[in-house]
Structures are given as structure tokens and as C-alpha cells.
Structure 1
């Protein structure tokens, strides 16, 4: 396999001729870890129960994902292990933030579109919209991830996340506290040795496959890459589900989150009331 090294504006680009000379496909495995801080202080919950809740949240947010990709398309999905039956306990309550309960995340970089299949409390949605674009700034930093040389790029974006603390706080009166909006920095490491415009989850837009990416709470790191595997995977958009755009889905998710919080607090209030009777 021939590799050409080009210097463009001070950046080294590795152009692998065999990748351009044929239709190719790859499979990349990613380890995703998300840290969610849930404030349980001041709650009438035994310490061992608090620790169990925190451990369950931590475990639920350590996942393995698989990205199947070609030059134009990719499909990103969780590698679900059969030995994890407790993943969906708690009435459909999940704590994932950067992959969450998305079964499939399909990207078409030629068309600039994505389709993601989401299970929201038992109802399936197909979220179809334009790919989000980040204004990447290239940095001069390099390092190795496995055998690949990767380059650093950064971007900023404004995000709005559910505030998990309100779920456990019955006395929350300020509805704006249900969501936290802030500007965060995204740090990506990509490899021009795999010259495709792809990456895990919603990320893309760099001159090489993104092998590592992190925001304020989540890090996604590639642990294995298999180029041109013998068993090809058909990369196609997910189907079956209620079709909505991202804005509409966010509105529905916000409403469902509010309902879940109120139901949880009402249920807990009922238990506490029964416990107080003599």
C-alpha cells in the first residue's frame, strides 16, 4: 500500500492511495465514558443507597460503540452486551448523555444530513436533520493513538443538557433549573492516515477519521480499527419510527423529562407520606 505525504499550510497529510483507488469500508470501536454528578446531599436516602445510585449511573455511562464507515456514510451504534440486563431498569430511565439511548446514528457527509433512531421512554423516534457544523481550529499538537498519528483540533459550541439534580429534588421551583445551558470546548484528535470526513456520534468535519473526542463530561476514545473487513456491513439510514427534526425532538424530550421528574417526586412523596403514618 502506497502512502503519499503532503505538506499543506504546515500540516502533514497522509494520502493512502489504495484507499482512494477502491471502495473501502472500515470498522472502529470506541470506548465512551461520561461523568454525571447527581447531588444527593440533604436527601433522606441511606448512604449505601446513594452510593449504589452513583455506581449505577457511572456504569450506565461507560459504553462501547462501533462505527462502520465508508467514504461518504457511517453508522454509529452501541455494542450492547447480553450480560448487562440491568441497563434498562427503572421504567425506561437512562443516564447517557453523548450517545444516550440512540440505537443508530447515521451520517451522510456528502448530503450533509443525519438520521438518528432514539428510544424515548418506549417510543421510537427518527430524528432527521442537517449535520451540525463546528468551526474547527487546527492546532499543532500531535500524538499517537495506537499506530496512528493524530492531530489536535478544537471547537466551541453551546449546549443545553437536562439537569439530573432536579430529578431528585422535589422542592425545585425554578423551572429554568431543569436544563443547564453553557458554552463548552470540544477537543478532537483525528488521523489523516484514514482520510475520511467521519467520527463517532454527531462529530465529523475534519480531514481524517476522529479517533478521540471529548467535551466537558464525555470522552470517546477509539480502541481498535479494522480496515476493509472481510464481512462487509450494509451502511444505511435507520427506519421505522416517528419522523421529527431535532428541534421538535428536543421539545418532546424536555416535556417527557419534566413528566418523569414530577412522577418520580410524586411517587417518592407518597412513600414518605405512608412512612410517616402511625
Structure 2
């Protein structure tokens, strides 16, 4: 009887969490919906609810996005699905300067290749995948038809926002050394061993299963659809167009350009 129960348990685990075989070809696509909370700070306190809703409508393309993650066992491509602005009928050209481009990751080689466009110039950011010290939890929950388990981590905020920019960054950089400190971002992720790959959306990877949901800094990314081994084979290839640069150098390039813009604007006002 004990032998029967033991055999049944093993078979159940095999069915629940598929085991890779050397000859098995494995690839898929996952669609993620993202939502970011709108932070208006002190400025928002002086606005009416109608004004806030109007701003939310105008910023909808930046606050709510759809991404596709294409993957095989070791590689993935993560990119945004481009949509037209609900009000203007155009794409968000200004926002493109500070949003992530198409991102390729090879978890076997610890390689990141990401396209970025900044004021009409194309960059090819080549660097390592963000190293995250995940803390594995015991909590579980169902996301769609997949059983997921919780993992948490804390990483420097700059590691997640190296392609972004805010005027507050310039003020922080101009503070005396030692005053600014290192801002950290808390991450909560839910992964599923039922899809046995170490991939995830955006900068996230390195868990024993596909990351189905991740929350960080006011943003939540939730997987709404997965297709495993679709009839049309998924092609994954690292982008290769643009000026090659690392994350740190790219950030310095953006900050330098924005500083020049601020200084030139100040000179025009003083005339």
C-alpha cells in the first residue's frame, strides 16, 4: 500500500510539474498586462477628482500597457505592444524616450541585450541580467490555471529604472556626497513551476518557474495568457542595431542630455 501511494505521488508531481528532457523542444509566449499607480504628490492634492480622472485618461498609455514575453528554455524576448493614444490617436513619442525597448535575455549566458531610442538615436544596451537575491516563500495562490508560489526581494531602485529619467534625479545628484543614500525597491513575485523556465517580464528572472505576477514601485505586471509550444514556432533572436553601450553609460548619456536641455532652457529665460 505504501509503495502504491509513493508511486502515485511521484506520478502526480510529474503531471503537475513537467520534466524537461534533452530532446524535448520547449517554447512559448506569455502576455502581460501592466498597471502603474499615478503619483501626483502635493500637486495632486490641489486637484479635483474630475481633473485627476482627466489626467489618468491622457496618461492611460503610460499607466496601462500590454507586453509579450516569447521564450524557450534559455532565451526570452520581452517587448511592448504598441497602441495608439485614446485621445490624440498617435503613439506616445515623448514617453518612448524613457521606457524600456525590446529586451533579450539569455539566462544560460547571463546576457541582456536591450534596444533603447533616445531623441531619435538608437542604442543597443549590452549588459548582465539583473542579479536578484530572491527570498523563497511558502505562500501559494492560483493565477489563471497555474499554481504559483511567492518570492520577494529588495533591489536598488536605479537597477530597475536605468532607462528612465526624472528631474528629481538631477537634484539628488547635486546634493553633497553621502546625503542622497541608496533608494531600494521591494519586489513581490509569483512564479509557477508548471512552466519550468527561469524567465519573467521586464528585468525579472531567476526563479524556478515562469514569473506570472510581479509588483514593484507602484507597478503590477500580471500574466493574462500563456501559449506553450504553439503551432507557429517562436523565433527568438537578440536585437543587433544601435550604438553599443552598457546600462551605466546609457544612464549617464540620458542624464547629460537632460541636464543640457535644462541649462539651455534656463539661459533662454534669463535673456
Asked if residue 146 in structure 1 is aligned to residue 119 in structure 2, the reply is no
CA drift at 1:5: 1.6
Q: What is the correspondence of 1:105-144 to structure 2 with a 5 Å cutoff?
A: 105-144=103-142
| In structure 1, C-alpha distance between the alignment counterparts of 2:38 and 2:257, rounded to whole Å | 20
| In structure 1, C-alpha distance between the alignment counterparts of 2:256 and 2:134, rounded to whole Å | 33
| Comparing 126-135 and 179-188, the one that deviates more | 179-188
Preserved contact between residue 25 and residue 70 of structure 1 (Cα < 8 Å): yes
| In structure 2, C-alpha distance between the alignment counterparts of 1:253 and 1:192, rounded to whole Å | 39
CA drift at 1:154: 0.3
Deviations 1:79-124 (A, max 9, x none): 1135764332xxx42189xxx5333100000101110001112211
Preserved contact between residue 186 and residue 213 of structure 1 (Cα < 8 Å): yes
Q: In the alignment, which residue of structure 1 is the partner of 2:75?
A: 73
| In structure 2, C-alpha distance between the alignment counterparts of 1:173 and 1:134, rounded to whole Å | 28
Q: In the alignment, which residue of structure 1 is the partner of 2:90?
A: 86
Q: What is the correspondence of 1:1-278 to structure 2 with a 5 Å cutoff?
A: 5=13, 14-17=16-19, 21-39=23-41, 41=43, 52-81=54-83, 85-88=89-92, 92-94=93-95, 101-160=99-158, 164=166, 176=174, 181-261=182-262
- Gaps (5+ residues) in structure 1? 7-12, 274-278
Distance 1:3 1:136, change over 3 A: farther
| In structure 2, C-alpha distance between the alignment counterparts of 1:51 and 1:107, rounded to whole Å | 37
Q: Secondary structure at the match of 2:91?
A: helix
Preserved contact between residue 165 and residue 254 of structure 2 (Cα < 8 Å): no
Deviations 1:20-77 (A, max 9, x none): 65111100000011224244739xx999887644542343221000000000100000
TM-score by length of 2: 0.78
CA drift at 1:165: 6.3
Preserved contact between residue 61 and residue 85 of structure 2 (Cα < 8 Å): no
- Gaps (5+ residues) in structure 2? 1-9
CA drift at 1:17: 3.5
Preserved contact between residue 83 and residue 91 of structure 2 (Cα < 8 Å): no
Between Structure 1 and Structure 2, the one with more helix by share is 2
Q: In the alignment, which residue of structure 2 is the partner of 1:9?
A: none
Distance 1:250 1:111, change over 3 A: same
Q: In the alignment, which residue of structure 1 is the partner of 2:3?
A: none
TM-score by length of 1: 0.76
| In structure 2, C-alpha distance between the alignment counterparts of 1:68 and 1:108, rounded to whole Å | 12
Distance 1:263 1:234, change over 3 A: farther
Deviations 1:173-232 (A, max 9, x none): 77548x995112111000000010100111100000000011122111000001111112
Distance 1:175 1:245, change over 3 A: closer
